[in-house]
Structure 1
Amino acid sequence: MTTDTTITEPATARSGAVLSFEDLQVTFGTEFGDVRAVKGISLQVHPGEVVALVGESGSGKSVTSMTALGLLPKNARVSGTVRVGDKDLSRLDARGLRTLRGNDVAMVFQEPMTALNPVLTIGDQLTEALQLHGIAYGKQASARAAELLAMVGIPEPERRLKQYPHELSGGQRQRVVIAMAISCDPKVIIADEPTTALDVTVQADILDLLRSLKDKLDTGILLITHNMGVVADMADRVAVMLKGDLVEEGTTEQVLNDPQHEYTKRLLAAVPHLGNGPGQFGSVAEVSAPARQEAPALDLQNLVIEYQRLGRPAFRAVDDVSFSVAQGEIVGLVGESGSGKSTIGKVALGLMPAVSGSVSILGHDLAKQGGRRLKELRRRIGVVFQDPAASLNPRFPIGDVIAEPMVVHKVGDEKARRERVYELLDAVELPRSAFNRYPHELSGGQRQRVSIARALVLDPELLVADEPTSALDVSVQASVLKMFTALQERYQFACLFVSHDLAVIDTLAHRVVVLQNGRIVEQGPREEVLRKPSEEYTRRLIAAAPVPEPGEQRRRREERHALLKELGEEVAELHVDAATPPSRAVPGAQGGNASRAGGVLGG
């Protein structure tokens, strides 16, 4: 249902909201004039409720959340009312804001490595928050820090207190950030894309933990995300933002199953749905894997890849991996972080050597190629990297970026190259005016289109795409996937598509290869692997992938929990001892700022 932003009574009068925004407007003064980032939105979060604030980059989600912490930069002008509990933030001075952060409102950031101080131990950072707010000191603070780690499901908490952030996995670091957020028993937690940087199974664990947190501690959560599967899994209510406006608000079932605003409909239509297979964006009908060729585009046999470490045994990243990509076929390579996906992609491109095994590209043994023959072979391979901003030369205009492979391989004259670049700009649906623009003048989705155009400029027979859509908004991702499928049909290139997003793989791939810890655990046609997995790891991976429909996601979550119990594993949840709940902070505690998290917990 469409939001009515007219508020007739204070939010705190509405069943005791723990966080409320009333006619919030945020304008940034810049050298190019004023930018209205938030345009008069009203929203409430109640105790024990998860409200998802969704929208694409630039919609104003994070700016809205920062107002609840008083952390906007000095060039921001804020009007309207922001309340945390019964406290009006506009009436608080710097000391009052320091007391508010942590005591009443805390934040869980997207990337835990930037939220944690790399030179302080986990124990130092947890006890800092407790001491800062006058909750506990010395040995008592250390004991409380260990309790918090145990609450969020980190094993051997006393040992972990002495470790540094880099010694923990991504999921464990995010659990530490959550432990810091609940250390002062805040009324509301703002979770800003808390699972974006995590693997799908770790994401499912973190969502279970957050759900347990709001149920057991009655904490309100404002969840900021662009992942509709996460929204379906977590949220009680959904608010949709577009260019600073709140365009729709309602229960999760209402917004996801019966959207009213055209933007919400477009947003949901752009989300790939695991289980729906190819053609989700109207691009192609169901296709079957091409017939095997005598010379596959890529053939890996018994591949072993190791990283040498000074003074220590080599780390084996890939162990005895064998699979092939037929000509004209898309093979999805999936697995969690550290499984060896990107390493295999680098070896397939000839960017790093294998310890043993063979890599054959278009019938040629890569190890036996050298000089001119290797350069000629590389001409037949294209590559699309994960981050287009890092893979495009910022000093080259787009025309030169796309034409560079033709220059390197001495293909055509200047006129022919220009015509080829224009042809590809048309193919990837970019205006020809982009020819003379620079990468920084384009959006993320446009830059990724440029990367794909550059990869196709030499008509490659094999394309290696390493997470090419993971950094994109859902609508941009959908348009890139639609375009990618159309281009593959048109140019008939083979593709090794590396991704951790099973819904994307379901949309594109003919066959799927599943990696775990450098080994293949399962491979076969997409239908068999994603619909009828035979291996335990694949079943866990698929069960953890959220889908953007609340009823189906609820059923999938229950099935996942049943699977974990069947495998003898625990479901991630908050372990709260009723006798020792998190202590409410002492009012008026002094503030400081020793760690990066201090900005949220007291600085």
Structure 2
Amino acid sequence: MTEQKIFTGEHPALKFDNLDVQFKTEFGTVHAVKGLTLSVEPGEVMALVGESGSGKSVTATTALGLLPKTARITGETVVDDKVVGDLSGRELRAIRGRRVAMVFQEPMTALNPVIKIGEQLTESMEVHGVAFGREAWARAIDLLAAVGIPAPERRVSQFPHELSGGMRQRVVIAMALACDPEVIIADEPTTALDVTVQADILDLLRSLKDKLNTGILLITHNMGVVADMADNVAVMFKGNVVERGPVTDVLLNPQHPYTKKLLSAVPHLGEGPGQFGVPPAPVAEGAETALEVRDLIVEYKRAGKKPFRAVDDVSFDVKRGEIVGLVGESGSGKSTIGRALLGLIPSHSGAVDVLGEDLLAMRGAEMKALRKRIGVIFQDPAASLNPRFPIGDVISEPLSVHGIGTKKERENRVHELLEAVQLPRSAYNRYPHELSGGQRQRVSIARALALRPEILIADEPTSALDVSVQASVLAMFTELQRDFGFACLFISHDLAVIDALAHRVVVMQYGKIVERGTRDQVLLNPQEEYTKRLLAAAPVPDPIEQKTRREERHALLKSLGDTVVELDTRELGQ
């Protein structure tokens, strides 16, 4: 067993005592949090886990007094021995940032896009009287250096849009540190980040709580992150804490059915196909090539500058009945390839053969006829479904566009597809906003299959879904692939998902392919440095295994000459 910290509970940094939160809405009362009691000790990471709608973020938001006036709150939230609900607006402003700070999920919503980074860091210091003027500016530079941002003297004068997503998240952490709070609430702090950046941010947070004795309330649905970070875990379901305890007990020996369900739904890197029911069907020997990409180059023109090459001399193929996983981090060119294969953006040069046809040479009616044989699933179903169409029309739209079948035949086909993606027939007349995120993604898959495509291009189709919803969608996807036999290019940054689905894997970095091979060759025996980094950074939902993986990752980074992210408390004058 891993070493367990012992917390006395005498002076918690943050305490919820019988917290109950209800919201009045036009449709009635929503009971978001039901009598929750929980504490976070100095130097402890308490993970609050659960899926969308479980009440995690509502619980955390009470600590900052930020819930809307429609919320009816009973019970107590205690910060710095003060009951948050009893504080005036002025008293609340005094503890926000100074006693309790928040790291939000999306840094661009937490940062002001028109104010320089340094000014945003100094603002809270000056408001709380921590530092002023040149002293505050120097401390802002020290904070950026402490959270591992290179050239901090230059970065303080930049705007948020000039930094990468990982850099912006570090700035948000630096802002949370600015006034030395006793507790930091980290609300899904790594959800939007690449796996290597996520690993660095988790290293930084771990170093922070160890060196500064800061309590952290970590809100997440990622069990790998919980295994990597938490000392203790509380599992929330429909406003209730249904299980709590040390991280090793909860993750390795769960007692509540909901916790068991959550953990069984997490894809585990190294377990291979079949994690969610049936594995994908093996590719037939001598199967024809459905998609062949040769020497593809895609460039984006920039005014007054040299064109940016997003895809650089890429070649790969996909056989009929095969799932090829295209993996890499943000900016690697994965989604650009997907859009180029659909003819949505022009290619600079190269060749793309789709089902024996030259895609790049096609125009007009020829392109329309070819697109009929290609299905596509986008990452965000809310953005790809017309909100004014009922679901029946959304799914039948490709059939109408290509003039296939009578109205009655199209209606029958939609009912077949709803059944195939495990949605009730009643969904036919409902609108996208009336469905959950997972149901909307099933509608996207049904629409992609409406024309019985021979090739399916799936661009991050499960990344926005809760873990149990993702598991059911992946299980369904595998069954559909066996039934329909389509070739599939599955674009993802989640290596565990690729491990559960793909026959072959292609790894991309900076627009180039760095490694390719069968799933076992690439994921179990990587040859390239970049692939090794990706795999080492992917967390697994087992605290003991994750601790070993973290140590191995640090050893790998040191062997490659990289620095392991740690909070440099000397920069903060600690």
Q: TM-score range by the shorter chain?
A: over 0.9
Indicate conservation of the 8 Å contact 1:278/1:287, yes or no.
no
1:462-520 Cα offsets, whole Å, 9 max, x none, are 00000000000000000000000000000000000000000000000000000000000
Deviation at 1:136, TM superposition (A): 1.0
Matched residue, 1:334? 327
**Are residue 255 (structure 1) and residue 279 (structure 2) matched?**
no
SS of alignment partner, residue 103 of structure 1: coil
SS at match of 1:297: strand
What residue in structure 1 maps to residue 4 of structure 2? none
- Map of 2:347 onto structure 1: 354
> 1:15 aligned to 4, 10, 15, which one?
10
- The one-letter code of the counterpart of 2:388 is R
1:453-468 matched pairs, under 5 angstroms: 453-468=446-461
Counterparts of 1:364 and 1:578 in 2: how far apart (Å)? 60
Equivalent residue of 1:345, what SS? helix
8 Å contact 1:522–1:535 — kept in the other structure?
Answer: yes
Match of 2:221 in 1: 226
Structure 2 residue 6 is the aligned partner of structure 1 residue 27: no
Checking the alignment, whether the CA contact within 8 Å between 2:143 and 2:572 is kept in structure 1 is no
Q: Structure 2 length as normaliser, TM-score?
A: 0.98
User: 2:196 and 2:285 mapped to 1: Cα distance?
Assistant: 34
2:569 matches 1:580: no
Counterpart among 47, 56, 73 of residue 61 in structure 1: 56
- How far, CA to CA, are the matches of 2:493 and 2:222 in structure 1? 14
Instruction: Give the whole-Å Cα distance in 2 for the aligned partners of 1:207 and 1:379.
Output: 44
Report 1 or 2 for greater relative contact order, CA contacts < 8 Å, sequence distance ≥ 6.
1
Structure-2 residue corresponding to 1:586: none
Aligned pairs, number: 568
Which residue of the partner structure matches residue 178 of structure 2?
183
CA-to-aligned-CA distance 1:258-288 (integer Å, 9 cap, x gap):
111001000111110000001001223x754
C-alpha deviations, 1:116-172, integer Å up to 9, x for none?
000000011011111111111111111111111111111111111100001111111
Q: String of CA shifts for 1:360-410, please: whole Å, max 9, x gaps.
A: 101111122222222111100000000000000011110000000000001
Aligned-pair CA distance for 1:579? 8.1
Q: Is the 8 A contact 1:68 1:82 kept in 2?
A: yes
Deviations for 1:393-448, whole angstroms, at most 9, x for unmatched residues?
01111000000000000111011101110001000000001001100110000000
Moved more, 57-66 or 369-378: 369-378
Distance 1:479 1:148 in 2: 43
Whether the 8 Å CA contact 2:145–2:571 is kept in 1: the answer is: no
Separation of aligned partners in 1, 2:80 and 2:494: 38
1:591 match = none
Q: Does 1:449 align with 2:433?
A: no
The answer for the alignment partner of 1:212 in structure 2 is: 207
CA offsets, 1:202-244, max 9 Å, x none?
0000000000000000000000000000000000000000000
Determine the C-alpha separation between the residues in 1 that align with 2:291 and 2:93.
58
> Structure 1 residue 246 and structure 2 residue 229: aligned?
no
Matches within 5 A, 1:517-596: 517-577=510-570, 580-581=573-574
Name stretches of at least 5 consecutive residues in structure 1 with no aligned partner.
Answer: 1-11, 582-603
Q: Which residue of 2 aligns with 1:123?
A: 118
**Letter of the 2:206 counterpart:** R
Query: In 2 relative to 1, CA 521–13 (structure 1 residues): closer, same or farther, beyond 3 Å?
Result: closer
The one of 474, 483, 500 equivalent to 1:481 is 474
- Give distance in 1, aligned partners of 2:440 and 2:523: 31
Change (3 A) 1:290 1:118: farther
Letter in 2 for 1:376: A
Q: Give the whole-Å Cα distance in 2 for the aligned partners of 1:375 and 1:121.
A: 47
Equivalent residue of 1:359, what SS? Answer: strand
What are the equivalent positions in structure 2 for 1:356-395 lying under 5 Å apart? 356-395=349-388
CA contact (8 A) 1:292 1:326 kept: no
Between the aligned partners of 2:536 and 2:283, the Cα distance in structure 1 is 25
Distance 1:130 1:578, change over 3 A: closer
Describe the shift of the 1:274–1:163 C-alpha distance in structure 2 as closer, same or farther (beyond 3 A). same
Residue 39 (structure 1) shift: 0.4
* Residue 90 (structure 1) aligns with: 85
The whole-number CA distance in structure 1 between the counterparts of 2:309 and 2:8 is 60
Choose from 231, 247, 253 the match for 1:236. 231
Partner of 2:3: none
Task: For 2:482 and 2:281, locate their aligned partners in 1 and report how far apart those are by CA, in whole Å.
Answer: 11
Deviations for 1:300-349, whole angstroms, at most 9, x for unmatched residues? 00011000111111100010100001111000000000000000000111
CA, structure 1 residues 396+134, in 2 after alignment: closer, same or farther (shift >3 Å)?
same
Task: In structure 1, give the amino acid aligned to 2:446.
Answer: A
- What letter matches 1:54 in structure 2? V
TM-score, length-normalised on structure 1?
A: 0.93
- AA at the equivalent of 1:378: R
8 Å CA contact 1:228–1:547 kept in 2: the answer is yes
> What is the deviation of 1:292?
4.5
Query: CA contact under 8 A between 2:495 and 2:535: conserved in structure 1?
Result: yes
Partner of 1:153: 148
Measured after TM superposition, the shift of residue 289 of structure 1 is 4.2
Q: Supply the distance in 2 between the matched residues of 1:55 and 1:140 (Cα, whole angstroms).
A: 42
**2:240 corresponds to which letter in structure 1?**
D
Separation in 1 of the partners of 2:284 and 2:263? 31
Q: Quick one: which amino acid aligns to residue 426 of structure 1?
A: E
Q: Distance in 1 between matches of 2:381 and 2:117?
A: 34
Identity percentage over the alignment?
69
* Contact persistence 1:297–1:361 (CA under 8 A): yes
Q: 1:80 aligns with which of 75, 80, 96?
A: 75
Q: Is the 8 Å Cα contact of residues 377 and 458 (structure 2) preserved in structure 1?
A: yes
The gaps in structure 2 that reach 5 residues or longer are 1-6
Q: Secondary structure at the match of 2:130?
A: coil
Give the AA of the match of 1:173. Answer: R
Contact 2:146–2:572 (8 Å) recurs in 1: no
